[in-house]
Structure 1
Amino acid sequence: MPNGPISIQTVTGAEIAERDWSTTPLGPIATWPVSLRTTLATMLACPTPMFLAWGPELRCFYNDAYRPILGHRVEHALGERFDVVWAHIWDELLPLVERTLAGGNVVATDMQLDLRRGGVPEESWWSFSYSPAFDDDGKVAGLLNVTGETTARVVAERERAASDERLQQALSAGRNIGSWDWDVVADTVRADNRFALLYGVDPNVASEGAPIDVFFRGVHPDDLRDAQRSIERAMDPNGDGTFIAEYRLLGADGTCRWVSAQGRCVFDDRGRPVRFPGVSYDIDDRKQAELAALAAKAERDFVLALSARQRAATDAEAILRFTARAVGERLGINRTCFARVTGLRMRYVPGWNDGTLSVLTGEESLERFGRIGAGRLRSGYAVVAPDIRAGSTFDDAATASHGALSGIVVPLLRDGRLEAVLILDHGERRQWTPGEVALVNEIAEITWVAVQRADALAQLEATVGRQGAQLERVATELHDVASARAAAETQVRQLQKMEAVGQLTGGIAHDFNNMLAVVIGGLDMIDRRLARGEIDVARYLEAAREGASRAASLTQRLLAFSRQSPLSPEPVEGNRLIADLTDLLARTLGEGIAVETVLGAGLWRAEADRGQLENAIVNLAVNARDAMPDGGRLTIETGNAHVGDDYAREADMAAGQYVLIAVTDTGTGMTPDVLAKAFDPFFTTKPVGKGTGLGLSQVFGFVRQSRGHVRIYSEPDVGTTVRLYLPRFYGEAPTPRQRAALPPVRGGEPHEIILVVEDEARVRNFSVEVLRDLGYTVVHADSGPSALEMLDAGQAVTLLFTDVVMPGMTGRELADRAATMLPHLKILYTTGYTRNAVVHNGVLDPGTRLLSKPFGVDDLARKVRDVLDH
């Protein structure tokens, strides 16, 4: 409903929302007070019957639970004046209404009202309350009624009271009480006239005495055995001899009456029953009242259970089907169904039958119930036929074709228009009781409320479905726009990446040219000296070697920065590693830098590449030294760190436990703009020739490749702290071994045959010459397919030494193929860049042996020997 909290999820709520109120004294909904809209919303959502009268004319509103109380008035009650809706009982209600409008609260308990829900007088009792309803200014603007019917309870209580009163009067006056005295030994019962008449025995016979079986003949067959058992229990000498029983007596005319019998068995001194006196009196009125109360409760429970099931259902046709079955089985009739009405035609909804009558399907004229019957139904009145053939209401031909001899048809109206009927058919004549007619009327009312709610919900779902489809189309369009934007952003990032690659290439070219100048210059000087016969070339040879080593170091830093350098993670004792490095750092940094360590107790082991971690700490220490030209203090701290979810999301790392290594200096620090670029490759604040700008980039690449995190904190003129977070190692650490000096490398044997596979001829020739010089038998190939041809031809090989990155077949593919041909073949890889062939997530595959390029003679000799010996 516009401008208000009124829900249209209920039938009444939908009717309020759809109605044009601008022509009523209440005016358009948008002008209604907030207090009215709020009260309506609360009332409509409540499962308890509620009624609201609002405004000077007390215009009526109600919720779905109140609709059955209105009965046929539900078609015109919404928005009508209170005194018009309940005109026939207005004199009784007016004093209560006036008291409420004066600001008082009214509570009525078991008040008798003739509501005439079915259009005819009826006795009903109600407990309800009237409370003032206030407008936005706090003034009384109407009243709110909360009600509940108590008819069944009141009727049962009154019947029980009346019965008890009659019983008490009978007991007091001695009327309706018959007495007997049974001589058990002689089996002779003598009784008075009242007892004889109750049991259908001739008073003269009863006076003279007769066997007890004569009197038992009057007991209802269904109750006889229980009555006999009660007598047997009273005659048990182990009991107290008391006899109390209630049972039915069957009269000569077939009528039944309930009696209560009480007596006591008398025993002789040996415990044998000898005499059994007692009385019987009529309790039929009380018993019938109790049974009526039980029946009323069962009926109410049935209606409530059916209503609850209807409320839980959302499909109107399903509600009609299971309701038809429930009514048919409850009343024990042959066929029930609903039919939807359009004009003068009705369409049957599949209902229920017990197999006695045919199933009603398809369409049919409403005048199947006769012109009079159809007219009554359109006017909102039920048609009740105990014997269809005896009256003129139903159409005889239609009735004959359907086989029903009695029935009830209840109309279901909406806005005064007949929209459906509930049909009950029976194959035999049947006298429908007022209770049955009232029950069917009530079921029809609650069913139609449920059906209207389901129809409204279906319409709402259809509307939501259409709106959902529209939203889905909009979402698709937005997705297309977002995709286009993402593509554009990707293109921009690619351009930025190309720009960064250009800057990176320029930096690499600058450093490599410097180093190559040293190498080429040194080699040229060696060549000139040797040409003149001079052999003093050691210093030029050392300069060339140093330039080449610096170039190799640069490539390793580039690989670490790009996270392509293969790692060999192992459990690392951080405190021990730093203790081992302390002396080296002190010598490297010089006397002006004091090195301090603060090592955390109980430090966890870190999972990292030990050599790379040492290199990272040294890099950070050297950077710190350069930031302290006048001396200072370098502090290395360790500790255990717990990284929570929030910090992990911010740092792009996994939450969990880490080993923290922090390196702090007291140097010049960094400004925010310098700090923002600290990890950028080739960014440096040092003078030309004093640094490559790859130190922090290398540290960042190593730590991230190790599944850790790096954080820098810096302040100008205060200093800088770099924190390394390395993942905790959870496994068992190997027994630590002391590092020993490297022993001399043992050479090879002629029977140890090495196959060298390398596509770069100069590297291949260098490797072949070195291995042959070491004593190995060497064969070689320039590609994977060529090497496989050699193996296929029967070439014996002890170790395969292959480059990883080659055109066509990679070294990994070659090794896998060769291993299938020679199961005991040893394999050693070499590469300057792995491309994930033998390294995944920055870590060597298990069991993989790798020699990184560039390598020297000693590096090659030791690695080959190590692979062959293990």
Structure 2
Amino acid sequence: MAREMAEHDWAQSPLGPREGWPPALRSTLALLLACPTPMFLAWGPDLLCFYNDAYRPILGYRSETALGRPFRDVWASIWSDIEPLVTTTLAGESCTVTDMRLDLSRQGRPEESWWTFTYSPVFDDAGKIAGLLCVTGETTARVVAERERAAAAERLDLALSAGNSIGIWDWDVLADRVTADTRFATLYGIDPDKAAAGASIAEFFAGIHPDDLSRVQSEVLDAVERCGSFRSEYRLLNAEGRVRWVSAQGRCIAGADGRCERFPGVSYDITDRMTSELAIRAAKAERDFVIDLTARQRVATDPETIIRISSEALGKRLGVNRAGFYRLLGVKQMRHGGSWTDGTLAPLTGVQAVSAFGARAEQRRRRGKTLVFSDSRHDNDGDLLAYAEDGVLAGLCVPLMNAGHWQAGIYLHHAEVRHWTPAEISLVKEVAEMTWLAVERAEALLRLSQRVDQQSVALAEATTEIKAEADRRSAAESQLRQLQKMESLGQLTGGIAHDFNNMLAIIIGGLNLAQRRLARGESDVGKYLDGAMEGATRAATLTQRLLAFSRQQPLSPKAIEPNKLVAGLAEMLARSLGELVQLETILSAGLWKAKADPAELENVIVNLAVNGRDAMPEGGKLTIETSNAYVDDAYAHEAELAPGQYVQIAVSDTGTGMSPDVMAKAFDPFFTTKSVGKGTGLGLSQVFGFARQSGGHVRVYSEVGHGTTFKLYLPRFWGDEPPTTVRSAPATLRQGKPSDIVLVVEDEERVRNNSVEALRELGYTVLHAASGAEALAIIEAGQDVTLLFTDVVMPGMTGRQLADRAAPLLPKMKIVFTTGYTRNAVVHNGILDPGTNFLPKPFGIDQLAAKIAEVLDA
């Protein structure tokens, strides 16, 4: 750990380089590193973590990144448990914790562990608390061992409290003499005095249930023959017919010859446990039966099929010979076996007469009583007997009632004498009710199907009419959208024509006046040329804003630190906004990097700031604030962008605000509330286009009389790319050298001539070509070229194709692309290809000089 601390890059941390650390921190770290006990130190306002080698295993997977990170971040998973201790310690009070349960998840998954540790405050050179020191040790093994020991003691106490439920035996195998205590003798029905004196093994075997005897004898014999252990569970049957379950365990003791001589062991009563287990097994069997039957009923759709499968399943479950469901219909006809006559129960077996049931039995049936009977026995009052004699059929009839009336019944036959248990009768009732509901559901579905069939034709006709109406509505909506598009297009083209005509009037007028004066020999034409240049510059700016609105401007996104960018703009904005506007920046701590074009982002912030200033003619406050933001699914769907993490830059003013109608049109091209000549109406359109082209979003919030806030969302940058620094003021452009040879490739002659003359004016040696093929021939002829300045869109061979073919011939040659339209081979979806040098048209000589110098100096 000492080596890792020495190699760690502390310059980026709040502590700074190690050379500047205070003596108190150095001495504490020396103590920590020399200690063989696990220790860690949390130092400074952020409680940065330091620890020794013994503490590293406690960190687990965190050990690779924990050094120098805030204590709260390292142990975020248990912070709620330890935060009160940290707060107490930093207040000056040491804390000692014994056997605290903490889930450290050292391997990345939950774990159970216990810890004993102390937190002590540590002091800086001035004697103030600067952090805390922890000495810790894991006590998991001891805590678990003590817990298991306590559980074992509890089980022992429970066993001893069972009293006469546990018995001990000792069998002398050679003498066949078993001595046992009173508890064992009581369990097996042996006289305690005789058991104490000794009895044969056969006498004890006599108490085992006949169904288990042969198995137990075989298991005992096997244990004796191999001189091993014995373990078994079986039933005991006493003279009164009472059954008890026991668990017996024993182990053979071998003599000198290796054969079993003695066989001691213990037996204990497990009747309560086995009774519960058997009940659970029976309940599980019935549950599985009901679940399976329900699934089979759900598949069936025919009532007759549902009744048949239910009868068969129930008969198989209870092992009966005949099973059937019967229903009362309007015609009083049973679906199986016989018929209903005069409201009385007809023969169900085909043997017994109606009168055999008796009037009283019929009354019981009508009241919903379950009938248990045979086919030939009943008492003088007509009650059916619960048991049948040997050789006759025993039956069970369970009715299903609805509103006090018999609706259906289930009837079961058994070929032998059968006592129907309450559990079996309950199961029969459950299955009968379930089947009855399934039958009703199936019949309801059949009736519904018939109604659906009857309505299908009407539904088809209605569907046809609805589709026709939908087609008419769709056509109308399409026509309306087309009209709206044409109206928007008319507004856009009208705005463009108006502004361009004004700019062209300035350019043409200035050049005409300059021509006339030069023709008369006058040289004072500077003001006319300056006016023409100003008009051309405004036209170029308008073009760039149109490209930004249409998301076609070429962007070069990089990793940006927004706080540095805003801080770098603050001084310039404070001067340009005027004395009446107070500028405030609120820069969030821990701000993520953003991914955007830094130059265009600066333009957007300046644009929003200027708009805010114009909205405060009497002065006010302009605030630029940065923060991290998470866009959830709902907001992302509304804003039409991907959910996730974004960096937010908000520009707020305390100006006049916007009404809802104005706010709805704020981002429309050429829409402005400013007076004529005060703005083009493309500023906010440019902001919107930049945000969307950058993969982000912009929202406006405003209230009349209270001000406006624009919130710009930019995607968070992920990766290791170094952040882009804030641009400083451009230095004086360097003059070209004659040794730097620039090859200009442009198919438009006037544009080519202007570029050639401008570069020669700057001091470069310039060659030129009218096409990619001509330029390639110059290079292939052996001409050395320092920089290739080529248009992208050219007939025959594009600038991208030219660069790809020329680069292998001159590996050290630099390349700069230029074009007036971005949808081409070097710009994709408005984003420049990585490593591409690009100068958009139109450009002035200063811009050309700056770009060429930048590329050559790179």
Question: What's the TM-score bracket when you normalise by the shorter of the two chains?
Answer: 0.5 to 0.7
Aligned-partner residue type, residue 634 of structure 2 = D
2:374–2:392 Cα contact (<8 Å) kept: no
- Indicate whether 1:51 and 2:51 are aligned: no
Stretch of structure 1 that moved more, 568-577 or 734-743:
734-743
Using a 3 Å threshold, how does the CA distance of structure 1 residues 733 and 787 change in structure 2: closer, same or farther?
closer
C-alpha separation between the residues in 1 aligned to 2:813 and 2:731?
26
Which residue, 388, 393, 398 being the options, matches 1:129?
A: 398
| Aligned match of 1:576 | 564
C-alpha separation between the residues in 2 aligned to 1:46 and 1:704?
66
| Aligned match of 1:142 | 406
- Indicate whether 1:849 and 2:840 are aligned: no
- Indicate whether 1:611 and 2:599 are aligned: yes
Using a 3 Å threshold, how does the CA distance of structure 1 residues 484 and 748 change in structure 2: closer, same or farther?
farther
Deviations 1:17-45, CA, capped at 9 Å, x for gaps: xxxxxxxxxxxxxxxxxxxxxxx999999
Shift in Å, 1:827: 2.4
- Indicate whether 1:13 and 2:309 are aligned: no
Q: Which runs of 5+ in 1 are unaligned?
A: 1-6, 17-39, 62-66, 115-120, 135-139, 158-456
Using a 3 Å threshold, how does the CA distance of structure 1 residues 617 and 821 change in structure 2: closer, same or farther?
same
Q: Which runs of 5+ in 2 are unaligned?
A: 1-296, 316-322, 378-389, 422-444
| Aligned match of 2:746 | 758
Using a 3 Å threshold, how does the CA distance of structure 1 residues 94 and 720 change in structure 2: closer, same or farther?
farther
Shift in Å, 1:864: 2.4
C-alpha separation between the residues in 1 aligned to 2:481 and 2:763?
54
C-alpha separation between the residues in 2 aligned to 1:741 and 1:630?
31
1:60–1:82 Cα contact (<8 Å) kept: no
- Indicate whether 1:106 and 2:369 are aligned: yes
> What secondary structure sits across from 2:556 in the alignment?
coil
Shift in Å, 1:684: 0.8
| Aligned match of 2:286 | none
2:368–2:406 Cα contact (<8 Å) kept: no
Stretch of structure 1 that moved more, 791-800 or 689-698:
791-800
The higher radius of gyration belongs to 1
Q: How many aligned residue pairs are there?
A: 520
Which residue, 632, 642, 647 being the options, matches 1:659?
A: 647
> What secondary structure sits across from 1:867 in the alignment?
helix
Aligned-partner residue type, residue 51 of structure 1 = F
2:697–2:713 Cα contact (<8 Å) kept: yes
C-alpha separation between the residues in 1 aligned to 2:711 and 2:840?
29
| Aligned match of 1:632 | 620
Aligned-partner residue type, residue 540 of structure 1 = Y
| Aligned match of 1:168 | none
Aligned-partner residue type, residue 689 of structure 1 = G
2:558–2:723 Cα contact (<8 Å) kept: no
2:561–2:723 Cα contact (<8 Å) kept: no
Using a 3 Å threshold, how does the CA distance of structure 1 residues 82 and 634 change in structure 2: closer, same or farther?
farther
Shift in Å, 1:153: 8.6
| Aligned match of 2:823 | 835
C-alpha separation between the residues in 1 aligned to 2:314 and 2:764?
96
C-alpha separation between the residues in 1 aligned to 2:464 and 2:779?
59
Stretch of structure 1 that moved more, 525-534 or 567-576:
525-534
Shift in Å, 1:716: 1.6
Aligned-partner residue type, residue 13 of structure 1 = P
| Aligned match of 1:169 | none
Shift in Å, 1:787: 3.8
1:828–1:851 Cα contact (<8 Å) kept: yes
Aligned-partner residue type, residue 99 of structure 1 = R
> What secondary structure sits across from 2:758 in the alignment?
helix
Using a 3 Å threshold, how does the CA distance of structure 1 residues 548 and 11 change in structure 2: closer, same or farther?
closer
| Aligned match of 2:504 | 516
Using a 3 Å threshold, how does the CA distance of structure 1 residues 8 and 857 change in structure 2: closer, same or farther?
closer
| Aligned match of 1:282 | none
2:585–2:624 Cα contact (<8 Å) kept: yes
Using a 3 Å threshold, how does the CA distance of structure 1 residues 491 and 800 change in structure 2: closer, same or farther?
farther
Shift in Å, 1:824: 5.3
Aligned-partner residue type, residue 59 of structure 1 = K
Using a 3 Å threshold, how does the CA distance of structure 1 residues 491 and 123 change in structure 2: closer, same or farther?
farther
2:393–2:413 Cα contact (<8 Å) kept: yes
Shift in Å, 1:512: 1.6
| Aligned match of 1:591 | 579
Using a 3 Å threshold, how does the CA distance of structure 1 residues 44 and 808 change in structure 2: closer, same or farther?
farther
- Indicate whether 1:710 and 2:698 are aligned: yes
| Aligned match of 1:553 | 541
Shift in Å, 1:494: 4.6
Using a 3 Å threshold, how does the CA distance of structure 1 residues 148 and 733 change in structure 2: closer, same or farther?
farther
Using a 3 Å threshold, how does the CA distance of structure 1 residues 744 and 12 change in structure 2: closer, same or farther?
closer
Using a 3 Å threshold, how does the CA distance of structure 1 residues 583 and 749 change in structure 2: closer, same or farther?
closer
C-alpha separation between the residues in 2 aligned to 1:521 and 1:562?
31
* TM-score, normalised via structure 2 length: 0.53
2:511–2:528 Cα contact (<8 Å) kept: yes
> What secondary structure sits across from 2:406 in the alignment?
strand
> What secondary structure sits across from 1:614 in the alignment?
helix
Shift in Å, 1:865: 3.4
Matches within 5 A, 1:286-305: none
Shift in Å, 1:97: 4.1
Using a 3 Å threshold, how does the CA distance of structure 1 residues 715 and 741 change in structure 2: closer, same or farther?
closer
C-alpha separation between the residues in 1 aligned to 2:767 and 2:544?
30
Shift in Å, 1:757: 2.1
C-alpha separation between the residues in 2 aligned to 1:697 and 1:612?
13
> What secondary structure sits across from 2:554 in the alignment?
coil
> What secondary structure sits across from 1:721 in the alignment?
strand
Shift in Å, 1:556: 1.1
Aligned-partner residue type, residue 107 of structure 1 = T
Which residue, 768, 784, 790 being the options, matches 2:772?
A: 784
Shift in Å, 1:151: 4.3
Higher relative contact order (CA 8 A, sep 6+): 1
> What secondary structure sits across from 2:370 in the alignment?
strand
2:392–2:416 Cα contact (<8 Å) kept: no
Shift in Å, 1:841: 2.5
C-alpha separation between the residues in 2 aligned to 1:734 and 1:575?
15
Using a 3 Å threshold, how does the CA distance of structure 1 residues 546 and 478 change in structure 2: closer, same or farther?
same
* TM-score, normalised via structure 1 length: 0.52
Using a 3 Å threshold, how does the CA distance of structure 1 residues 835 and 735 change in structure 2: closer, same or farther?
closer
Deviations 1:332-370, CA, capped at 9 Å, x for gaps: xxxxxxxxxxxxxxxxxxxxxxxxxxxxxxxxxxxxxxx
C-alpha separation between the residues in 1 aligned to 2:790 and 2:816?
7
Using a 3 Å threshold, how does the CA distance of structure 1 residues 482 and 122 change in structure 2: closer, same or farther?
farther
> What secondary structure sits across from 2:544 in the alignment?
helix
Using a 3 Å threshold, how does the CA distance of structure 1 residues 60 and 624 change in structure 2: closer, same or farther?
farther
Deviations 1:261-305, CA, capped at 9 Å, x for gaps: xxxxxxxxxxxxxxxxxxxxxxxxxxxxxxxxxxxxxxxxxxxxx
| Aligned match of 2:387 | none
> What secondary structure sits across from 2:405 in the alignment?
strand
Shift in Å, 1:858: 2.5
Shift in Å, 1:154: 3.9
